[in-house]
Amino acid sequence: MKFLIVGLGNPGEQYLNTRHNIGFKALDHVGKQANAFFVSDKYGSICNFKYKGKQVYLLKPNTFMNLSGTAVRYWMDKEKIVKDNILVVTDDLNLPLATLRLKKKGSDGGHNGLKNIQEKLNSNVYPRLRIGVGNDFSKGKQIDYVLGDWSAEELVIVEDKIETIKEMILGFCFNGLNNTMNTYNNK
């Protein structure tokens, strides 16, 4: 059984430590822990490893956030991975900092990466792990906020959750979406 875990973010050094790139940060941690190394390939950086008999692909699209769906669709088709076996890891302004929510479907919530994925999949029913980045910004400053770097205090809080994020991703692959939601969503 194959799984595609997609971390949303923007390619390039200038975006490395931004709130919008928490998906990349999460996948970097999972890949490192699995001794899997990302290689540049079509529409992104990808690596894969076996986890308890499951084949897990980690994808960091290089299409920039607004075109993430192109990379997701390409790798789903290339590896013949069904929609129920993809998990999109993304930042969420509507959740308090470092709050984690695993969902089986939902709206894009104004997130352009999710909006493009929804368009390419022709559905809003696909698993996603939403990571709260808070919403401490002035009206009209949303883009500056998500493309801004983490403060030192925020980074400590986020780093404290990165292992739980890894456990949720691997739990999704091995234990399934519903069991993983039941285990982690109420913590």
Please provide the average confidence, as pLDDT, over all residues in the chain. Answer: 95
CATH code linked to domain 2-184: 3.40.50.1470
- Which DSSP string corresponds to 48-110? EEEETTEEEEEEEESS-GGGHHHHHHHHHHHHT--GGGEEEEEEETTS-TT-EEEES----TT
Distance CA 159, CA 63 (A): 26
**Mean pLDDT (whole number) for 18-24:** 96
Distance CA 98, CA 105 (A): 20
Residues taking part in catalysis: 20
**Mean pLDDT (whole number) for 158-164:** 96
Tokens 């909006």, located at residue: 115
Q: Where are the domains of the chain?
A: 2-184
Q: Which residues touch 152 (CB under 8 Å, ≥6 apart)?
A: none
Q: Do 132 and 165 contact (CB within 8 A), yes or no?
A: no
Q: What is the pLDDT of residue 187?
A: 67
**Mean pLDDT (whole number) for 126-143:** 92
Q: Do 87 and 127 contact (CB within 8 A), yes or no?
A: yes
Distance CA 167, CA 102 (A): 12
- Condensed to tens digits (0 to 9), the pLDDT of residues 171-180 reads 999 999 999 9
Half-sphere exposure of 143 (CA within 13 A, CB side): 4
Q: Which residues touch 28 (CB under 8 Å, ≥6 apart)?
A: 7, 38, 60
**Mean pLDDT (whole number) for 79-108:** 96
Distance CA 3, CA 57 (A): 6
What is the number of residues in the chain?
A: 187
Confidence band for 109, pLDDT divided at 50, 70 and 90:
confident
- Condensed to tens digits (0 to 9), the pLDDT of residues 22-76 reads 999 999 999 999 999 999 999 999 999 999 999 999 999 999 999 999 999 999 9
